[in-house]
Structure 1
Amino acid sequence: MNPLVAKWLDKSRDELDEIYRNAGAGTIPSGDTRGTAIVTGSLFSKTLAAIARLFAWQGKIFDLFPPDRQNGILVNKITPFSLTFVVAKVYRDASWMDGQETIVIDYSKTSFFAKAIRDEIREVEPGVYLGKVWWGKTRVLDFALTRNVTP
């Protein structure tokens, strides 16, 4: 696990929100990313993150972009076999948290099961993203994405 992401597992929701607010949108990830669910307020956050990664959600694949890399589509990797399901549109827009630019992962027009979900991510350091999950207009979860950075 990325060392920065490991530190986030011990942070409170307010601390994660502050990190998110202080980050710029950054670049839209490309390729395969590793996902980590962050369950705040739990003594077992590292265990819960490991269980979620093993059995439910492993990350996202951002390979489906046009040459301008401004708008595109991604798929989520789920199940212990990293099967690719749950497509989302990806674009830049204002964050529901603070109105500043963010990278939006929007399921409203691409997924029957996840149509009420909207993810937002910001690049905290090269290749490391902190994300917020919204169900409708209610924040439900934080997560991290990491990718390999090529020079």
Structure 2
Amino acid sequence: MAYDVHQLLAMSQTELDDLFRASPAGDIPDGGAEGTAIIAPGTKYTHSIASIINHFGWQGKVFDAQKGSLKNKVLPFGIEAVVARVYKDDSWFDGKECIVLDYSDTSVLAHYIRDEIRLIGPGFYLGKVYWGKERLIDFCLQF
């Protein structure tokens, strides 16, 4: 099944977790992706929160697959900042392979952040954000 951002924003946390669990890691992406934060999934607030974050905080990520790195697009102008290492490893969520976005050695600001992504459709990834080992939110990336 092909997914879009609006479908993901309408899903419950359980549905997002099941989709992540059922999806392959896919290839490490390359190039720019539009990002959408998924907070309070399946509630009437999800779309509004995603829109606010997208306009003022985080717009997505720019991957360099050859270097195994990425930069986040942040602030209203989409400044490329907050670098992460990118590699495949076992997911903290379910122990299966995922693509890890690791900020521990590359960012003072996001030192405790780890993202995990999996491919849910052509050029479309679902991700989970961790602070330390605690899962915070979900997000998606569209290439």
Question: 1:16-67 CA distances to partner (integer Å, 9 max, x unpaired)?
Answer: 000000000001111000000001253111111111100000000003624x
Q: Write the distance in 2 (CA, Å) between the matches of 1:87 and 1:65.
A: 15
Q: Write the distance in 2 (CA, Å) between the matches of 1:61 and 1:20.
A: 21
In the alignment, does 2:128 pair up with 1:132?
A: yes
Paired position in structure 1 for 2:97:
101
In the alignment, does 2:52 pair up with 1:51?
A: yes
Structure 1 segments (4+ residues) deviating >2 Å: 63-66
Q: Write the distance in 2 (CA, Å) between the matches of 1:19 and 1:64.
A: 24
Paired position in structure 1 for 2:35:
35
**Percentage of pairs with the same residue:** 50
Q: Write the distance in 2 (CA, Å) between the matches of 1:143 and 1:45.
A: 11
Counterpart of 1:124 in structure 2: which amino acid?
A: I
Q: Write the distance in 2 (CA, Å) between the matches of 1:102 and 1:42.
A: 27
After superposition, residues 19-34 of structure 1 pair within 5 angstroms as 19-34=19-34
Q: Write the distance in 2 (CA, Å) between the matches of 1:65 and 1:78.
A: 22
Paired position in structure 2 for 1:142:
138
Paired position in structure 2 for 1:75:
71
Paired position in structure 1 for 2:106:
110
Counterpart of 1:56 in structure 2: which amino acid?
A: G
Q: Write the distance in 1 (CA, Å) between the matches of 2:42 and 2:19.
A: 17
Counterpart of 1:14 in structure 2: which amino acid?
A: T
Paired position in structure 2 for 1:4:
4
TM value normalised by structure 2: 0.94
Cα RMSD of the aligned pairs, angstroms, is: 1.4
Question: 1:92-112 CA distances to partner (integer Å, 9 max, x unpaired)?
Answer: 000000100000000000001
Counterpart of 1:146 in structure 2: which amino acid?
A: Q
Gaps of 5+ in 2: none
